[in-house]
């Protein structure tokens, strides 16, 4: 697809998984809140014991989730493609081997009963009262990963927005669906206001970030190739997303959509009322932080840049002054219209010439269909792009059948 060289080393392929428990006797399936322990065991047996271990495991938003990547990036030759499936098989087998009886590692984009009473093991009630991270009527804070980053993101998105997030997904109607389909939430003023008739209402970051996806990072041979690849892949994001679509169920209902994107986008939408254009606005932002890209980066993509881009003007001008070209400067200045969502106190005063934490903090919470990844300072990792729209498909193997 790209001249002059094909995609090179340092490409990876990350899959998010859910830990699921099957109670056959009571015909009950739940999400197991053991992600932190499973992760600890996998890291201890894997990367900490052997730096060349073929798999790497990382935490994800739900405490019923884990994320796996290959231990080493794939190389640049065609034959490397033959190792992708094998590595996925290794990951599944390895993680499944540390699960409890009747538990499985599932690649499910959206767990059908997420947010229904008792959907977790152990069961927990939601915490809508003051003090909760999401204040959700449905999604208990215990289902959020215990690492402080995740609850902090949840709380700060809600605080910045000034209210709980609002997700309304159209209900699928068959002959048995009441019409209009109306749920009432008399106990919760926000929910009563935000929920719409004929929609499945959800009110927490976990309904989106607690879904699973497949992301692929490609290394380019130069910044030029990375910019070109970013633009070329951006155009096929919606197509590949539709091909992978695998998420028709939300909060125990059948919806009239089949893809998680709109749900996850709304689940982290931290824009204020002013930014959403609902009040007299000084500064309007047209999309959530989780959304499609807003501008092309390469010379051949430039002519298709027809969206009026909201940018941080000061940052844009500073970048131009330092010799960055218009396309890249506006891309970065657009990323920086978002506030940081979390900040560690000891990571505030940094040497920006040698550390990119401040950039990465903004970059990693601009969850767009494509991500343009400059190399970290003082490393030999090259220019990369990440392809992010795909859903995961379900594959199931119970531990006992291994
Ligand atoms: N779980 C998110 C999704 O389904 C992706 C989070 C991430 O960027 O790692 O899109
Ligand atoms: Mg992830």
The secondary structure of the chain in percent helix, strand, coil, rounded to multiples of 5, reads 30, 20, 50
**Cα radius of gyration rounded to whole Å, the chain:** 22
Residue 391 Cβ inside 6 Å of ligand 1? The answer reads: no
| 264 ligand 1 Cβ < 6 A | yes
> Ligand 1, atom 10: nearest CA belongs to which residue?
213
- Give the Å distance between the CA of 288 and the centre of ligand 1: 14
Mean pLDDT in residue range 272-292: 89
Q: Which residue has the tokens 């976990």?
A: 206
pLDDT at position 252: 98
Cis, peptide link before residue 4, omega less than 30° from 0: yes
Q: Which ligand sits nearest to residue 265's alpha carbon?
A: 1
| Signed CA dihedral, 196, 198, 203, 209: sign only | negative
- The pLDDT value recorded for residue 264 is 98
> What's the 192 CA to ligand 1 centre distance in angstroms?
29
pLDDT at 276 > cutoff 60: yes
Q: Which of 57, 62, 114, 211 to mutate to test the pocket of ligand 1 (most atoms within 8 A of CB)?
A: 211
**8 Å CB contact between 209 and 134:** no
- CA distances, 197 to each of 180, 200, 253 (Å): 6, 8, 14
* pLDDT at residue 280 in the model: 77
pLDDT at 394: 62
Cβ-contact 6, 382 below 8 angstroms? no
Residue 184 burial by CB count (10 A; 0-12/13-18/19+): exposed, middle or buried? exposed
Structural contact between residues 57 and 42, judged by C-beta atoms closer than 8 angstroms: yes
pLDDT(402) > 50: no
Rounded Cα–Cα distance for residues 357 and 340 (Å): 11
Q: How far apart are CA 106 and CA 398, in angstroms?
A: 9
Ligand 1 neighbour 16 (Cβ under 6 A)? yes
User: Which of 214, 264, 341, 364 to mutate for ligand 1's pocket (most ligand atoms within 8 Å of CB)?
Assistant: 264
Residue-wise pLDDT for 350-401, tens only, equals: 998 899 999 999 999 999 999 999 999 998 889 999 999 999 986 545 454 4
- How high is the mean pLDDT of the chain? 93
Pocket test for ligand 1, best of 12, 14, 16, 35 (most atoms within 8 A of CB): 16
Name the nearest CA neighbour of 367 among 341, 392, 388: 388
Q: Is 217 in the pocket of ligand 1 (CB under 6 A)?
A: no
CATH number of 10-401: 3.40.50.10470, 1.20.1250.20, 3.30.590.50, 3.40.50.10160? Answer: 3.30.590.50
Closest ligand 1 atom to Cα of 212: 4
Is the predicted pLDDT of residue 24 greater than 80, yes or no?
yes
pLDDT category of residue 70 using cuts at 50, 70 and 90: very high
| CA 369 – CA 192 distance, rounded (Å) | 32
Report which secondary-structure segment, H or E, holds 36.
Answer: helix 35-45
Ligand 1 pocket residue status of 153, Cβ below 6 Å: no
The residue whose CB lies within 8 Å of the most ligand 1 atoms, and thus the one to mutate among 15, 61, 250, is 61
Question: Ligand 1 in contact with 367 (CB < 6 A)?
Answer: yes
pLDDT tier at 156, thresholds 50, 70, 90: very high
Quote the tokens at residue 156. 């700060």
Q: In whole angstroms, give the CA distance from residue 62 to residue 121.
A: 13
Distance from residue 185's CA to the centre of ligand 2 (Å):
32
What is the residue with the minimal CA distance to atom 8 of ligand 1? Answer: 367
Question: Ligand 1 centroid vs 391 CA: distance in angstroms?
Answer: 9
HSE of 63 in the Cβ direction (CA atoms, 13 Å)? 23
CB neighbours of 119 closer than 8 A, spacing ≥ 6?
30, 31, 111, 113, 143
Any residues with CB less than 8 A from the CB of 247 and at least 6 apart, and which?
109, 110, 211, 257, 258, 259, 260, 263, 391
CA distances from 168 to 96, 256, 286, 336, 397 (A): 34, 11, 18, 28, 33
Residue whose C-alpha is closest to residue 316's, from 303, 306, 304, 326: 326
Per-residue model confidence as pLDDT tens digits over 81-139: 889 989 999 999 999 999 999 999 999 999 999 999 999 999 999 999 878 999 999 99
Check whether 3 has a pLDDT greater than 80: no
Q: Which atom of ligand 1 is nearest to the CA of 391?
A: 4
Task: Report whether 340 contacts 362 (CB < 8 A).
Answer: yes
Spatial separation of the C-alpha atoms in residues 330 and 309, rounded to whole Å: 8
CA 364 to ligand 1: nearest atom: 8
Q: Where are the domains of the chain?
A: 10-401
**Would you say 10 and 382 are in contact if contact means Cβ atoms under 8 Å apart?**
yes
pTM of this prediction?
0.94
pLDDT band at 279 (very low <50, low <70, confident <90, very high): confident
Can you give the pLDDT at residue 395?
54
CA-CA distance, 110 to 263, in Å (whole number)?
10
Rounded-to-integer distance, Cα 144 and Cα 65, Å: 9
Q: In this structure, what are the phi and psi dihedrals at residue 249, rounded to the nearest 5 degrees?
A: -110, 135
């Amino acid at each position: 697809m790209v001249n002059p060289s094909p995609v090179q080393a340092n490409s990876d392929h990350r899959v998010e998984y859910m830990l699921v428990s099957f109670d056959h006797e009571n015909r009950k399936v739940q999400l197991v809140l053991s992600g932190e322990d499973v992760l600890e065991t996998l890291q201890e047996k894997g990367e900490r014991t052997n730096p060349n271990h073929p798999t790497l495991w990382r935490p994800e938003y739900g405490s019923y989730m884990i994320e796996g990547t290959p231990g080493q990036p794939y190389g640049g030759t065609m034959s490397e493609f033959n190792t992708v499936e094998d590595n996925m098989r290794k990951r599944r087998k390895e993680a499944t081997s540390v699960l409890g009886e009747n538990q499985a590692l599932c690649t499910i984009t959206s767990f059908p009963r997420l947010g229904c009473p008792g959907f977790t093991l152990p069961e927990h009630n939601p915490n809508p009262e003051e003090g909760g991270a999401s204040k959700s009527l449905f999604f208990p804070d215990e289902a959020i990963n215990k690492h402080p980053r995740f609850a902090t993101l949840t709380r700060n998105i809600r605080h910045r927005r000034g209210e709980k997030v609002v997700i309304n997904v159209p209900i699928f109607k068959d002959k048995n669906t009441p019409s209009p389909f109306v749920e009432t939430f008399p106990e919760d003023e926000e929910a009563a206001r935000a929920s719409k008739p004929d929609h499945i209402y959800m009110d927490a970051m976990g309904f989106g970030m607690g879904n699973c996806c497949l992301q692929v990072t490609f290394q380019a041979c130069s910044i030029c190739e990375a910019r070109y690849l970013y633009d070329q892949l951006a155009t096929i994001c919606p197509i590949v997303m539709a091909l992978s679509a695998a998420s028709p169920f939300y909060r125990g209902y059948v919806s009239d959509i089949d893809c998680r994107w709109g749900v996850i986008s709304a689940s982290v939408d931290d824009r204020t009322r002013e930014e959403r254009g609902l009040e007299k606005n000084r500064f309007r932002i047209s999309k959530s932080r989780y959304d499609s890209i807003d501008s092309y980066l390469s010379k051949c993509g430039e002519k298709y840049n027809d969206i009026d881009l909201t940018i941080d003007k000061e940052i844009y001008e500073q970048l131009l002054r330092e010799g960055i070209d218009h396309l890249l400067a506006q891309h970065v200045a657009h990323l920086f219209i978002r506030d940081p969502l979390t900040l560690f106190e000891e990571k505030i005063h940094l040497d920006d010439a040698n550390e990119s934490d401040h950039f990465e903090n903004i970059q990693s919470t601009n969850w767009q269909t494509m991500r343009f990844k400059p190399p970290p300072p003082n490393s030999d990792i090259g220019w990369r792009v990440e392809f992010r729209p795909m859903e995961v498909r379900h594959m199931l193997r119970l531990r006992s059948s291994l």
